[in-house]
Structure 1
Amino acid sequence: MTSTRTSPVRRLAAALLTTVLLATGCGLNNGGSVPLPVSPGPAGTVPELEGVRITVGGKDFTEGVIASYLVEFLLAAAGMEVSDMSSLAGSNSFRQALVTGQVDIGMEYTGTAWMSYLGNSEPIRDPQGQWEAVRDADLAEHDLRWLPPTTVDNTYSFAMNRATAQETGVRTFSDYAELVHTDPQSAVTCMETEFSVRRDGWPGLAEAYGFEAAAVPTPIMQPGIIYQATSVGRECRFGEVYTTDGRVKGLDLVVLEDDQRFFPVYNLATVVRGEVLDAYPQIEDVLAPLVDLLTNEVMVEMNMRVDVDGEDPALVARDFLEQEGLVSVD
């Protein structure tokens, strides 16, 4: 997820990326190589993949970069010649690169694809149902193959510091709605501009939980400022956050439970071009361990190591795979 969700209008306005396909190989050769060396894990390389070129793409925010590196390292350890096109500027750039074939594979969020790329106005709040709907639509429209999703769900929520949690007793959005009913001025909630007007953001949240949005003071801030201000608790008693952002844990924020499941599901899953997967179906088996290993808790920890501790995202991703026995480091 980027710091803002990409709306359909912005998607249509995005500039198309230049498509320059090579005659051989399954990807472009205009990216760099994997950022750090890796060697095969106990399973060794995959003979059918040895020497095959593939381009991995991703988005330019912490979780997007880490996700790209996880895919890159696993494919490289399997024997593929990986070209790195992680850190593409925003969701639209990554999506367009994938659709046009400039990128062969990467990780994406189900909710982003469903609402921003495929143009649907209403989310499907059942995670499996959302993934299946995206899988079927992208297969039919673009021959993009969605592999089984992880349980990572980088969706919206509100957070508060420990003192506010103790003082108000708020733990769920239903509790938050009750606080708004009784004392709206004490529910000062900081948010981004886009969230404040999105149907799957502030207006829809107020409708779903039955409170008056206009009664709540809602300072508009940039994401980085929201996290810091919420941790202090003066300007922002509550703040809009993303559930797997490392700053949530790093700043010891308490995240509200979406007890009525209002927010869309943003499960992280691998997406690969159909012709690539048809030619090299072994790719799915190589990446399959990520489905069970990647959880919100795991992703928060990796994000925190980058955003709070200042570590290199490539090193964080490689460490994780090495600890899980999926790659080795000489």
Structure 2
Amino acid sequence: MQVRRILATLVATSAVLLAAACAGDDLPEGSSGSDSPSAGADKGAVKISGQNFPEATLVASMYEQLLDDAGYDASTTLVDTRDVYMADGQFPTGIQIVPEYVGGIVDFLNTTVNGQDAKALTTSDPAASIDAAQSLLDDKGITLLDPSEATDQNAFFVTKDFSEAQSVTKLSDLEGVSVVLAAAQDCTGRADCEAGLKDVYGIDITEVLPLGYASADTFKSVLDNESQLGQTSTTDGTLESQGLVLLEDDKAIQPAQNLVPAVSTEFLDAHPDVADTLNALMAALTTEKLTELNASISVDREQPEAVAKKFLEDEGLL
């Protein structure tokens, strides 16, 4: 009888161990059960949206990888324009997080709520711009986390030869100089484009060629000396390889466009740890680093997801 009891115990124990081993076979690749960092910390799904251009794709991938690592089931859907994920100034159901720019989201909320002719709330100071829009953000249920030092503003460039020959490194160096400007279709009359260059900097803009924002045609126009000044962004990673030089906006006609996570306030209240995760990323990014990362994508043709992962690992965030 004693022998039978021992045998029965051994059989039962073996069955339990076999079941545990089989259960381990069902875990996702790379998972190690309770020893996995995310095990026991399934915090649910989180949906990221944003605009579909290389830099936004890069930053959204950083968000997704960080949130996955923190125990969330993150996914991303990018769209063409801001009004798709903020049709009436607020996130639609199912969207919790968006990689944004301070000036972009503040201006959008302001004009959506107060009309196209509303007095601007943005300045060159990101904190002041956010404070000015706080009531709009509260009404729409959106919280902006810590803005990054990294900023992607509209900017203007010349050729390296022009810069050296004319001793031009900042926009104020062009005061009184006659130039043709290649820029976005809506540049004329804008305070951050043609109007600001004329009224604030005193540049003689003889013509605006509507060739597009940071487009191939704009670059070619400046390189061919059809125009002398072209419009792009402060994080354009292609300028050096093309022999072009970005000019400093030393009189600050551009509103603050610092990177900033925009989060559903309701979601953030339920998941406050998200703030620490994304704020750490914002603290790690600089305009210089972002420009280098963009160059890896636009010049070196690396995939945004791989560039994002390497940066996060190098910064000790992943």
Picking from 291, 297, 301, the partner of 2:288 is 297
Picking from 144, 150, 153, the partner of 1:152 is 150
Picking from 183, 195, 198, the partner of 1:191 is 183
Aligned to 1:217: 207
Picking from 164, 167, 171, the partner of 2:165 is 167
Contact 1:160–1:230 (Cα < 8 Å) also in 2: no
Is 1:116 matched with 2:108?
yes
Aligned to 2:265: 274
Aligned to 2:249: 258
Helix, strand or coil at the partner of 1:314: helix
Helix, strand or coil at the partner of 2:210: coil
CA distance in 2, matches of 1:197, 1:167: 29
CA distance in 1, matches of 2:257, 2:41: 30
Matches within 5 A, 1:55-70: 55-70=47-62
Cα deviation 1:226-281 (Å, max 9, x = unaligned): 45326624223221111112223442421111111111111110011011000010
CA distance in 1, matches of 2:242, 2:150: 20
**Structure whose CA Rg is larger:** 2
**Range that drifts further, 223-232 or 289-298:** 223-232
Aligned to 2:92: 100
CA distance in 2, matches of 1:38, 1:319: 19
Matches within 5 A, 1:1-330: 45=37, 50-85=42-77, 87-96=78-87, 99-119=91-111, 120-122=118-120, 123-134=122-133, 136-179=134-177, 184=178, 187-213=179-205, 216-223=206-213, 224-229=215-220, 232-327=223-318
Aligned to 1:10: none
Contact 1:48–1:282 (Cα < 8 Å) also in 2: no
CA distance in 2, matches of 1:38, 1:121: 53
Report the Cα offset of residue 95 of structure 1: 2.6
CA distance in 2, matches of 1:38, 1:151: 35
The 1:99–1:48 alpha-carbon spacing in structure 2 relative to 1, beyond 3 Å, is: farther
Structure 2: gaps of 5 or more residues: 1-28, 112-117
Cα deviation 1:129-152 (Å, max 9, x = unaligned): 113323x13432211010010012
The 1:88–1:49 alpha-carbon spacing in structure 2 relative to 1, beyond 3 Å, is: farther
Query: Which residue identity is paired with 1:145?
Result: T
How does the TM-score come out when normalised to structure 2?
Answer: 0.80
Contact 1:226–1:239 (Cα < 8 Å) also in 2: no
CA distance in 2, matches of 1:169, 1:158: 15
Cα deviation 1:77-122 (Å, max 9, x = unaligned): 111111221x211222233395223311021111111222322442
The 1:63–1:121 alpha-carbon spacing in structure 2 relative to 1, beyond 3 Å, is: farther
Report the Cα offset of residue 293 of structure 1: 1.0
Contact 2:183–2:218 (Cα < 8 Å) also in 1: no
Report the Cα offset of residue 322 of structure 1: 1.4
CA distance in 1, matches of 2:164, 2:224: 12
Contact 1:159–1:241 (Cα < 8 Å) also in 2: yes
Query: Which residue identity is paired with 2:261?
Result: T
Report the Cα offset of residue 324 of structure 1: 1.4
Q: How many residues align?
A: 277
Contact 1:189–1:219 (Cα < 8 Å) also in 2: yes
**Range that drifts further, 229-238 or 298-307:** 229-238
CA distance in 1, matches of 2:80, 2:304: 17
Report the Cα offset of residue 205 of structure 1: 2.8
CA RMSD of aligned residues (A): 2.4
CA distance in 2, matches of 1:273, 1:169: 48
Structure 1: gaps of 5 or more residues: 1-36
How does the TM-score come out when normalised to structure 1?
Answer: 0.77
CA distance in 2, matches of 1:205, 1:106: 32
Cα deviation 1:31-51 (Å, max 9, x = unaligned): xxxxxx999xxxx84789524
